[in-house]
A and B are shown apart, each in its own frame.
Chain A
């Protein structure tokens, strides 16, 4: 079994395509939607966790890209240049899963890797630009 986190970008014409259903039914994948930005006639974004047999995942990725949906696999994690962090909290304002938090009573920035959706919103929200995301991209 294999588990990956993928960022899917749907062109406006594909936003109504029932991709998740197909991934479950045709590729026997367990799908966990981590973050979604879906609106009619707009470019759609989906961050999903896919669990299944390696072969099924590979076939599913091939299918997704064949349908014109852009696919980025996150195989890295968020890294923080901790020695430069001032614990201001600006990154926590945009973190949808609360993986980044300013914790009371010490008010230090904490990062929970497990909760991280690797959505990358925090990277530009950091005023010191000390957060980085390493990921491998599979282009169409």
Chain B
């Protein structure tokens, strides 16, 4: 039975009466009061995450020059941006590498520099047309002299992700960090009990159109993310045992802060972007109180061999992974995180403050995210 609606919660927020807690605070509240009472006590639970999310990038409209150009190839600080769009639109992706600095600078760094307000060198080429005669342009852009600039990330907020290890005899360099030989370490990447989609595992309240905190400003869930895979095997508590749901997110780049968006370089892998995201979850009923009270001991993931040499797989809870060691084949293997809990907590706390102050209202999804059982397709290598 519903306890309250999103409209009722928003009225309470505007009256300054809403009870807002973080997903970590909710664990103790439900334990002390029971889920039924907690559902009546608490109106909103805030979540947070701050991890490297490769499927991130931004659209920028540069404005028209005189004479005008239909940009066909675009570079921002020597990083290629995709320009197969209208005349002066381009998409800069986080993982595109600099043609002069290699892996030390990429699309992610362009995005961070743009948010920081720095000037960015724009070089563009064209074949020239009757309506757009100019064939090249060199100038500088920044967040004050372009038109629209918005982050559009096709896959963020992965609902759980496998932890990584390496069975081979060589150190391997991956997007899951540096993995030492012979099961030398294990890395994992999640904010676990504070993670948005692990606190709404069945996507009851997070859906298309949901207002979110992204990169220091307010943005939205635009769609299911790429590789959204709701059919993943799940625990009795609803959380998936490995990678599952994802979100496509959008937000105004000009209003973001480098406190919550940071560029990354992973050795011998490439660049990526740390994206800070926080999503509020309305406590509509007892079920949402139970779901948001999830803790690291109740969330598991698979540890997989990133060397590709073996099909090794072992389940571990995030409580075990966070303890610093997990035992594999009788050996204590050191574990290390890749996603910042410090920043995730900062985001969940900031979102809590914004909602309490009436600066952030909750939304009912325009559409729910898919919950079907169909699994992801593989890419077959077909002959001619």
Contacts and interface: CB of A to CB of B under 8 A. Distances in A.
Interface of A: 86-90, 92-94, 98, 101-102, 104, 106-108, 121, 124-125, 127-129
Contact of A106 (B180, B265, B274, B342): B342
A109 B263 CA distance: 19
A125 B184 CA distance: 15
Interface string B310-347: 00000000000011100000000010111111110100
A87 B264 contact: no
A92 B336 contact: yes
27 contacts: A86-B340, A86-B343, A87-B340, A87-B342, A87-B343, A90-B187, A92-B337, A93-B178, A93-B180, A93-B187, A93-B336, A102-B336, A102-B337, A104-B322, A104-B323, A106-B342, A107-B341, A107-B345, A121-B178, A124-B178, A124-B267, A125-B178, A125-B267, A127-B266, A127-B272, A128-B262, A128-B263
DSSP class of B's interface residues: helix, strand, loop or mixed? strand
Given A125-B267, A129-B104, A93 B185 contact: yes
Given A125-B267, A127-B265, A128-B262, A89 B180 contact: no
Contacts of B198: none
Contact of B338 (A89, A106, A107): A89
Interface residues of B, number: 31
B178 A89 contact: no
A104 B24 CA distance: 14
Interface of B: 50-52, 104, 177-180, 185, 187, 262-267, 272, 274, 322-324, 334, 336-343, 345
A90 B336 contact: yes
B342 A86 contact: yes
A94 B274 contact: no
Contacts of B322: 104
Given A94-B185, A127-B265, A129-B265, A88 B178 contact: no
Given A94-B178, A94-B180, A129-B104, A89 B336 contact: yes
> Which of A90, A124, A128 counts the most chain B CB atoms within 10 A?
A90
Given A92-B336, A128-B262, A108 B177 contact: no
Contacts of B52: 88, 127
